[in-house]
A and B are shown apart, each in its own frame.
Chain A
Amino acid sequence: MTVNVVYFSIMAFSFRNIMTIFRRAAYSKFNTLSGSELVPSISLLVPAYNEEVTVIENVKCLMTLNYPTYEVIVINDGSSDDTLGVLRREFGLDPLPNPEMRNSIDCQTINAVYHNPQYPHLYVIDKPNGGKADSLNAGINLSHYPLISSIDADSLLEKDALIRMARMYMENPEETVAIGGDVRIANGCVIENGAVKEVSLPRKMWPMFQAVEYLKAFLGGRIGWSSINGLIIVSGAFGLFRKDYVIAVGGYRGGYPGEDMNIIIKLHRYMLENKLKYRIAFCPEAVCWTQAPDTYRILSNQRKRWGRGNLKNMIENYDMAFNPKYKVMGLLTMPYNIIFEALNPYFKITGLLALIGYTMLDMTHWRVLAVFWLINFLSGYLLSVGALLLEELAFKRFNKISDLARMMFYSAIKFFGYAQLGGLWRIQGHIQYLRNNNSWGTMTRQSWQEKSDTAKSA
């Protein structure tokens, strides 16, 4: 019951803000702002590990954004494939004899920084493999601008995504320490010249489940959490940060996944402990398209990794939970994440076992079991319908009625297997954590061109 109250309250906050978001998106034209010197300069940090298939298209996409002053820093994190080679050949990059790394944050010793004066705003750092966090820290050390944006090398930004975020930053530059963007699933979309030309839902089952899951998490959850300044995560796929504060908290934490959640928790902690006024915002109209895992193996690896990262972050920061010093973060976000996210599968399993036990011992009736299962299903489905309504009210990305029907269908059937698998993967992630298994798992990439061809032919 409590979890439903929390879920519905957060959804209510999302609904309260959605029309403002719609108007902000609809009534902001960026033709003057995207050419203005008054917009803050941004360093885009793109960690890349074995991304030879997609990296060129993504870098080209990033180099043609509607934004006045920015630089793209790709960090090749010791790829075993030809990521560095394809970048060097495509952009004619040569090593800089004396790259100026500012050493603001500890990170591994880099091998070289590559640059070509013909592409003055592109840098490629080559370093031994040290993980995503270490790569981002290396990027921060080279970056030249006061704002940094972390972007996954397998993601495509919409042309206006950065300027939309910058606009949000300019609305309150002193208090804004981080802004998260909306991550959407690109599987099924038609992609041309590094941009999504035609939005469509994925055709395969696994990405389709993730598409409805992301909608619920980003629109139903993050809009609400950010409105009470309780956002615990800015997706690693696309986020904007004040560099001075990221450096002040020691940069990204390496060694474990979940660095995107970790940096946000550290920022909350730092700002609250130093009694600084701040906000961590969410900008749903700034969209980043990403390739979702489309096989069971890759998806389960990703979710186990998330489970591991989440548990690590909760254990590292348990002192914030129920601590009034940390305001919304301490009294709501952290307890919610510990109880309803990290420990959620255990509660579900024990609850289910108890109900089955009661029924078998004739201590309760099968009807009770059915009613509680129905409550669980219907409240979850209601939240999904709410997320679809938010999407329809503010963004209208999916034009066809069949898209709507498919999303409703998948929102319902995800409670019959997919949701349970989610719990299982989380528990497996926890077991990996306890066993000190810290592997990233397999992640294969498909070129955007291939994906787009598949989408067109379908």
Chain B
Amino acid sequence: MDSHLTVAIYFVYICLGLIGAGMLLLFWLRIRSIRIDKKTELYLRKHQEYFKFIQTHLNGASDLPLPPGKLTKLERRVVQNKLIEWIGQFKGEIREKLMKLCHDAGFVRDDISLLDSLFYGRRVSAAYRLGGMRAAEAVPRMLIMLEKQSYSPLTIVIARSIAKSAERGDQLKEMLHHLLRHGKPIHNMAADILMETGLDTSGLLLKLLDDENPDFVKVALVAMWGQAVPEVVPALDRLVGAGEKDVRAEAVKLYLSSNPVLKDETIRELMADTDWEVRAAVAKSIGNLHAAGSIPLLRTALQDSNWRVRNNSAESLAKLGETGFEVLCQIAKHGSGVERETALNHVEKAMLEEAEHQKLDQMIAHNKKKLLYERYFGVSESKPVRQVAAVGGDYTA
């Protein structure tokens, strides 16, 4: 019993010691933080004139001057952070001038030397600032850092810095390689990082589309969202038939966003794809392409097992003039199950939306639809709100 008590008393002493140390540390950290905040404020005020001078001379022909006097470590950091903030806000020549100022002031040199620090935290913060300063000369060193880095949230920080600072496409490709080698499906994140670069990415994206690494292809496809250019169409033609589901879906979405002329046969094939994302993308695009010949396909797709496909099909039918709208009305009146639910919802939506149209041609189109609506559902000014029995078996997400 005594030995237990002795252990317990030792434990009490250890706890007391740790609590004391913790409290001291807490107060020291707090006081230090307050002091840094106060000094930062002081330095910002002290260099206000210098910052104003820089701002007014950003468009001038001469180089920007260095901060005046001998600066303390924290003072240098305050000035550096302000310049990094501006580099992020400006583009073109102004950004170049600010980047040069960072070089001349020795900020880039200091942070490159910190990349060799023994402390991981210092290396990461240096990489972050180098990205902010668009320091091209730091890219090779940061690529090595990224290569050695195991996957963590900070991998993203380093990759982003490389993307911002890279001066060649092959550096971006190497960055992507290191970023994606961990096997995580982070293609959206990688595309977002890639688009941070100041380089023209169109050539690189085309190359990535032809790469044998499917991860690179996916990154290129998502990076191009909504901006398919004619040059990529041959590559997309090929990728639309790709075996890998994700690649095919992304390729189809991108391909359709370029408003291509689609053969009926192609539409039929795509609408029968096993991947719902492909079917949904095609269903959506049919309305935008005004492909009225595909109305029967859309009608069938209203019974699709996936909600998004049904929804897009109904939306497209509503866009395909009176014929499409009449099909929707027919199903809303005589159909059953999810097909009827979807059609009914979109008929009502179309009536509400189009009632607000002011232009003559829109009014005419709306009135035609209204006549069709009344043919199926009769004239009713105020419809009762339908109660939806929310119990059922639709398990699509």
Contacts and interface: CB of A to CB of B under 8 A. Distances in A.
Nearest to A100: B345
A106 B391 contact: yes
Given A97-B383, A381-B19, 18 more contacts: A23-B125, A38-B189, A39-B188, A99-B386, A100-B342, A109-B391, A168-B153, A171-B156, A171-B184, A172-B184, A243-B397, A244-B397, A375-B11, A378-B16, A378-B19, A382-B22, A392-B30, A399-B37
In the A-B complex, the 3 residue pairs with the smallest Cβ-Cβ separation, listed nearest first, are: A103-B392, A244-B397, A378-B15
Contacts of A386: 22
A394 B188 CA distance: 28
A104 B397 contact: yes
Nearest to B397: A244
Nearest to B341: A100
Interface string B148-181: 0000111011000000000000000000000000
A353 interface: no
Nearest to A247: B397
Interface in B310-354: 311, 341-342, 344-345, 347-348, 352-353
18 contacts: A24-B153, A37-B225, A40-B188, A97-B352, A98-B348, A98-B386, A103-B394, A104-B394, A170-B188, A171-B186, A244-B397, A367-B5, A371-B5, A378-B19, A381-B19, A392-B33, A393-B29, A408-B23
Contacts of B307: 102
Contacts of A357: none
Interface string A88-119: 00000001111111111011111110000100
Nearest to A242: B397
Residue among B9, B121, B390 with the highest chain A CB neighbour number at 10 A: B390
Nearest to A377: B15
A138 B390 contact: yes
B189 A401 contact: no
Contacts of A393: 29
A100 B312 CA distance: 13
A33 interface: yes
A50 B67 CA distance: 58
Contacts of B222: 38
A385 interface: yes
Contacts, number: 177
Interface string A141-156: 1000010000000000
B220 to A, nearest CB: 13
A381 B23 CA distance: 11
A399 B37 CA distance: 10
Nearest to A31: B88
B371 interface: no
A126 to B, nearest CB: 9
B388 interface: yes
A229 to B, nearest CB: 15
B185 A173 contact: yes
Interface residues of A, number: 69
Interface string B376-393: 000000010111111111
Contacts of B311: 100
A399 B41 CA distance: 15
A167 to B, nearest CB: 8
B385 A401 contact: no
B147 interface: no
B124 A27 contact: yes
Contacts of B125: 23, 27
B8 A32 contact: no
A248 B397 CA distance: 9
Contact of A99 (B11, B345, B392, B396): B345
A122 B203 CA distance: 41
Contact of A110 (B19, B184, B347, B388): B388
Contact of A33 (B18, B26, B192): B192
A397 to B, nearest CB: 11
B235 interface: no
Contacts of A99: 345, 386, 388
A95 B396 contact: no
B186 A172 contact: yes
Given A172-B184, A174-B185, A368 B15 contact: no
Contacts of A388: 22, 26
A20 B153 contact: yes
Contacts of B353: 117
Nearest to B308: A144
Contact of A103 (B124, B196, B393): B393
A328 interface: no
Nearest to A381: B19
Contacts of B255: none
B18 A382 contact: yes
Interface in A349-394: 364, 367-368, 371-372, 374-375, 378-379, 381-382, 385-386, 388-389, 392-393
A378 B12 contact: yes
A107 B25 CA distance: 52
B192 A32 contact: yes
Contact of A102 (B16, B88, B186, B396): B396
A23 B122 CA distance: 10
B29 A401 contact: no
A110 B390 contact: yes
A28 interface: yes
Contacts of A392: 26, 29-30, 33
B216 interface: no
A385 B356 CA distance: 61
Contacts of B188: 38-40, 170, 173
Interface string B183-227: 011101101100110000000000000000000000000100110
A146 B280 CA distance: 14
Nearest to A126: B385
A396 interface: yes
A112 B121 CA distance: 54
B19 A171 contact: no
Contacts of B107: none
A278 to B, nearest CB: 13
A408 B37 CA distance: 23
A378 B348 CA distance: 66
Contacts of A364: 1
Nearest to A388: B26
B390 A101 contact: yes
Contacts of A382: 15, 18-19, 22
Contacts of B34: 399, 401
Contacts of B385: 95-97, 111-112
A372 B31 contact: no
B185 A107 contact: no
Interface in B17-66: 18-19, 22-23, 25-27, 29-31, 33-34, 37
Given A372-B8, A385-B22, A404-B27, A102 B394 contact: yes
B8 A371 contact: yes
Contacts of A28: 156-157
A240 to B, nearest CB: 15
Contacts of B185: 173-174
Given A106-B391, A109-B388, A98 B344 contact: yes
A38 B22 contact: no
A174 B225 contact: no
A388 B153 CA distance: 24
